[in-house]
Amino acid sequence: MFKVIGGFFLGLIVVGVLAYTYAGSLMFREIESPFGVEETVARIQQNIQGVGNGWALSGLRNPGKAVEAAGGNTLPVMMVEACSTKYSGPILKDDSVRFLSILMPCKVSVYKKNDGKTYIGMMNAGLMGKMFGPMVGDVMGEVAKDQEKFVKFDPSKPAPEMIKGMPGAATGGAGGGAAGGC
């Protein structure tokens, strides 16, 4: 009996340690970009505009600007915000999952680290969606497929211009959503 209970608790501890170690990397993804911060942002914006499925840019936020305004420094961070009513609509219409609006608009974060390289951070929409029932799972699965296209770059194409003229652009303040249909 002692062995069974001991084994059970040992299993719990192992699962807990594994969850603690890997949960973050499962929920979120980080990939290295071959371009600088601005070019990565611009290429993601271009991809979002070209991916279809109702995706539209809804903001470009620079949280680092708020830190600078307060007198501090941070390496550059820019958040590209995008939304698709095709995906947001069903979730926003359902009272039981409307709280997931907290995840909207869809964000892709582009930032530089101390190694001087540029990285892209994204939510693992597919995995997270599965936790909230079949409808959300299906929607988020589709979002995850499109997210992959957001960060697929064609280096042979010239660098596009970063689109700043959107609500919330690079202000560090509230991002707008009107342009993105959310």
Partner 1 sequence: MSVRPKLILSAAAIAAMLTALVAFAMPAKPEAAPAQQAAATPKKESDSTADHSKFKELQKNFKTGPEVTEACLICHTEAAKQVQHTKHWTWESKDPKTGQVRGKKNIINNYCTAVLSNEKDCMACHAGYGWKDSSFDFSVQKNVDCLVCHDNTGTYRKLPGNAGHPVYKRREFPPKSGKFVEAVDLKRAAQSIGMPTRTNCGACHFFGGGANGAKHGDMDSSLQHPGKYLDVHMNEKGLNFTCTECHATKSHEVSGSRYNTSAAMTGPAHIRGKADASPAACQSCHGDKPHSTKHALLNQHTDKLACQTCHIPEFARNDIGTELSWDWSKATIMGPDGKRMVRKDSAGRRSFDSQKGQWKWESYVIPEYRWFNGTSTYKVIGDKIDPTKTVQLSVVGGGPNDPESRIWPTKVHRGKQPYDVENNYLTVQHTGGEDATALWHNYDWQKAIGTGMKAANLPYSGKFAFVDTELTWPITHMVAPKEDALSCAQCHSKNGRLKDIQGIYMPARDGKHWLDVIGWSLALLTLIGVLVHGAIRIYSSKKEG
Chain residues in the site for partner 1 (CB under 8 A): 19-20, 23-24, 27, 36-39, 41-43, 67-73, 75-76, 96-97, 99, 112, 114-116, 128, 131-133, 158-162
Cα 125 to Cα 129: distance, rounded to the nearest angstrom: 6
In whole angstroms, the minimum distance from the beta carbon of 141 to partner 1 comes to 17
Q: Is 28 helix (H, G, I), strand (E, B) or coil?
A: strand
Of the two residues 73 and 156, which places its CB atom closer to partner 1 in the complex?
Answer: 73
Of the two residues 42 and 108, which places its CB atom closer to partner 1 in the complex?
Answer: 42
Asked if 59 contacts 176 with a C-beta cutoff of 8 angstroms, the reply is yes
Backbone angle region of 38, left / alpha / beta, with phi > 0 → left and psi within -120 to 50 → alpha = alpha
Of the two residues 83 and 162, which places its CB atom closer to partner 1 in the complex?
Answer: 162
Pair type for strands 77-84 and 106-112 = antiparallel
Of the two residues 53 and 98, which places its CB atom closer to partner 1 in the complex?
Answer: 98
In whole angstroms, the minimum distance from the beta carbon of 51 to partner 1 comes to 19
